[in-house]
Structure 1
Amino acid sequence: MKDVKVLGPGCKRCIAAAEMVQAEADRLGVPVTIEKVTDYAAIAGYGIASTPGVVIDGKVVHAGGLPKPEDLAKWLGA
């Protein structure tokens, strides 16, 4: 089970990033839990300056803009 956090204030891009992670995980058959982190102090704690950010198993793998599907596949362990 991959622990995924999507960092952002809840904007459309942040929602889309969470949906993209879930869709790619479903496609790959990788079980994930997705948590949306909207608290600015918590987001800053990950050291990112632009959102959405994606954290997988405690490691920041993406910040700013929407991630590419092929990157998501790589990060999720495909």
Structure 2
Amino acid sequence: MAKVQVLGTGCTKCGYLLKNAHEAASERQAGDTVEKIDDIMQVLEFNPAALPALAINGKVVAVGTLPSPTEIIQLIEQSQEMENPA
């Protein structure tokens, strides 16, 4: 289970990223949660280099891009592998 956070101020790209994140979580069927963070003070705590940004389990993994649902699934899996090395 992963916590996926979309960081942005409400622009169109942020909306697309949020949609893709929801699709990825739905496809994975692993109980992932998706959260939109648009409060600028909370966004700045992540220190993203650009917006929109995508964080998984509190770590920024993509900035200024719109990863597809498939790419987000890959990012989630990579993040979990790094957190739980075999």
CA contact 1:25–1:76 (8 Å) conserved in 2: no
More helix by share: 2
Question: C-alpha root-mean-square deviation of aligned residues, in Å?
Answer: 1.7
More strand by share: 1
The TM-score, its normalising length taken from structure 2, stands at 0.77
Moved over 3 A (4+): none
> 5+ residue gaps in structure 2?
79-86
1:15, CA displacement in angstroms?
A: 1.0
Length, aligned pairs only: 78
The TM-score, its normalising length taken from structure 1, stands at 0.83
1:61, CA displacement in angstroms?
A: 0.5
Structure with higher Rg: it is: 2
> 5+ residue gaps in structure 1?
none
CA contact 2:6–2:17 (8 Å) conserved in 1: yes
Give identity over the alignment, percent: 31
